[in-house]
Amino acid sequence: MGTNGFSGKSVNEEFRALMKKQVNKNFKYLMIALPLVFVFVAVVSAVVCKINDTNIGVSVAADVIALIIILVIFIVNIIKYFKNLGKLKTGSIDGTVTKLDMTAADLNSTRKRAYYKIVIGTEDGKKITVKNDKAAPFYRHLKKGDRVRYHPGFVFPIELYDKSEVNVCVFCGKENDASVTECRVCKNPMLI
Ligand SMILES: [Zn+2]
């Protein structure tokens, strides 16, 4: 059995340092992954050109397009990262769920992708929207009117008020038993 209510841990300096570490780690992985994606594209395009006996210029053109796309993703994520660090310095906001949305889009006949949206109405009348990957782990544990706490800058930024059934890790988004103090997957502290 877990307990209901918001945790006091989220303001703890040690806890916030661990969150910053997680944000840095995720950013580092992405920065390593992007150049690898480019190398992969370059190799595949060169091989395809060779097999089809196409002019190597086609391969180079594909590489340039891939490079531009990857550079854009790179820049967007660097901006996101610094914004995220800024958000981590701001306080948490209490509110209630005012809207829950899930739409499934067909990628093709066998694969579907779901888009999630959770809208939180704050006590001073503002609206906070949490979307997609950041919203997905919380979606099925929430209904309209539920109390939540929004933690700006956290990897998974929602804290459930009702922790009687389940608690969601704000570091990795995995579900844990309500009474658990350390996440079973990432070993970071749970908000309890
Ligand atoms: Zn975790």
Q: What is the pLDDT of residues 98-123, one digit of tens each?
A: 999 999 877 777 777 889 999 999 98
How far is ligand 1, taken at its centre, from the CA of residue 92, in Å? 19
Give mean pLDDT, residues 161-177.
95
- What gap in Å lies between CA 119 and CA 23, rounded to an integer? 23
How far is ligand 1, taken at its centre, from the CA of residue 59, in Å? 42
Pairing of strands 147-150, 158-160: antiparallel
How far is ligand 1, taken at its centre, from the CA of residue 179, in Å? 14
DSSP 91: P
Give yes or no for a contact between 190 and 18, defined as CB atoms under 8 angstroms apart.
no
Residue 178, SS3 per DSSP: coil
Buried b (16+ CB within 10 A) or exposed e, 96-122: bbeebeeeeeeeeeeeeeeebebbbee
The mean of the pLDDT values for the chain is 92
> What torsion, rounded to 10 degrees, do the Cα atoms 126, 127, 133, 136 define?
110
pLDDT at 22: 97
How far is ligand 1, taken at its centre, from the CA of residue 61, in Å? 42
Fold adopted by 91-177: OB fold (Dihydrolipoamide Acetyltransferase, E2P) (2.40.50)
How far is ligand 1, taken at its centre, from the CA of residue 118, in Å? 21
Domain positions in the chain are 15-87, 91-177
Where helices occur in 53-103 by DSSP H, the ranges are 56-87
Half-sphere exposure of 32 (CA within 13 A, CB side): 6
State pLDDT tens for residues 120-144. 999 889 999 999 999 999 999 999 9
